[in-house]
């Protein structure tokens, strides 16, 4: 069994705990054993998972991997700590708030001989697999992807582009590398409203 710890117990972290506690039969998750979770808030236990300190998670020889589900801003620091402690890391996207930091983390994982995996679960869904089949072999002439959400705390999540990075990953996976041709942002503080519009171009224009 491969000992794991979940760091952060928001929506994603709670889903991780649930899935690790109740793995699907014959799935790789059956080989993972949840040894605890780390949170700044005090929970005690969640279901049968026990809360442990960050220090204990980093020191434990029984913990081989960490699932990081904290706010975007803290991903980079938390990844570094677990890689330095000799653990494999799975982190919810985005891995870091800059490309420079992300490359440094990839290099660090390679030097340590550890797996550093950025999770984007949407790319594994049946709906997305079907979408990918539908666009295969076709030329993209023009398209629009529009999505909405609640206003995010930029101090924790980073610049608004990071809240949309999942959709950017969709587009790159479907149509290859993209170049940003323009980007604008509109804010209406009195209405608590913000919109970011970005235009991309594929490699074949």
Q: Are residues 24 and 44 in the same domain?
A: yes
Q: Are residues 78 and 115 in the same domain?
A: yes
Q: Within 10 Å of residue 199's Cβ, how many Cβ atoms?
A: 11
Q: Are residues 77 and 171 in the same domain?
A: no
Q: Are residues 143 and 193 in the same domain?
A: yes
pLDDT at 117 over 90: yes
Placement of tokens 């710890």 in the chain:
5
- CATH number reported for the structural domain that contains residue 190 in this entry: 3.30.360.10
Inter-axis angle of helices 126-135 and 165-175, to 10 degrees? 40
Number of domains in the chain: 2
Distance of CA 22 to the CA centre of its chain: 21
Average confidence (pLDDT) over 7-21: 91
pLDDT in the model for residue 33: 95
154 token code pair:
């930029």
Distance of CA 37 to the CA centre of its chain: 17
pLDDT at 146 over 90: no
* CA triple 163-104-123, angle to 5 deg: 40
Of 12-26, 115-129, 152-166, 183-197, the range with the lowest mean pLDDT is: 152-166
Confidence at 105, pLDDT banded by 50, 70, 90 = very high
- CATH number reported for the structural domain that contains residue 80 in this entry: 3.40.50.720
3-class SS string, 88-121: EEEEECCCCCCHHHHHHHHHHHHHHCCCEEEECH
Q: Are residues 13 and 106 in the same domain?
A: yes
Q: Are residues 90 and 147 in the same domain?
A: no
Q: How far apart are CA 103 and CA 162, in angstroms?
A: 17
Q: Are residues 106 and 27 in the same domain?
A: yes
DSSP β-ladder status, 65-68 and 49-50: unpaired
Confidence at 59, pLDDT banded by 50, 70, 90 = very high
Host domain of residue 102? 2-119
89 token code pair:
């890391």
Average confidence (pLDDT) over 141-162: 78
User: What residues pair up with 196 in beta bridges, in sequence order?
Assistant: 185
Q: Are residues 22 and 110 in the same domain?
A: yes
Q: Are residues 105 and 136 in the same domain?
A: no
Computed over every residue of the chain, the mean pLDDT equals: 90
pLDDT at 200 over 90: yes
């Amino acid at each position: 069994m491969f000992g794991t710890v979940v760091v952060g117990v928001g929506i994603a972290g709670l889903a991780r705990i649930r899935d690790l506690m109740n793995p699907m039969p014959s799935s790789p998750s059956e080989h993972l054993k949840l040894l605890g979770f780390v949170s700044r808030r005090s929970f005690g236990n969640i279901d049968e998972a026990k809360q442990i300190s960050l220090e204990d998670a980093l020191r434990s020889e029984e913990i081989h991997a960490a699932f990081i589900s904290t706010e975007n801003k803290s991903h980079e620091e938390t990844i570094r700590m677990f890689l330095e402690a000799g653990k494999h890391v799975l982190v919810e996207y985005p891995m870091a708030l800059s490309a420079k930091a992300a490359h440094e983390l990839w290099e660090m994982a390679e030097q340590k001989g550890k797996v550093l995996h950025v999770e984007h679960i949407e790319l594994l869904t049946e709906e997305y697999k079907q979408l990918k089949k539908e666009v295969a072999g076709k030329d993209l002439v023009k398209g629009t992807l529009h999505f909405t959400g609640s206003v995010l705390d930029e101090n924790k999540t980073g610049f608004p582009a990071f809240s949309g990075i999942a959709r950017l990953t969709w587009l790159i996976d479907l149509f290859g590398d993209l170049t940003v041709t323009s980007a604008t942002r509109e804010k209406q503080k009195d209405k608590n409203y913000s919109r970011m519009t970005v235009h991309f171009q594929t490699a074949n224009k």
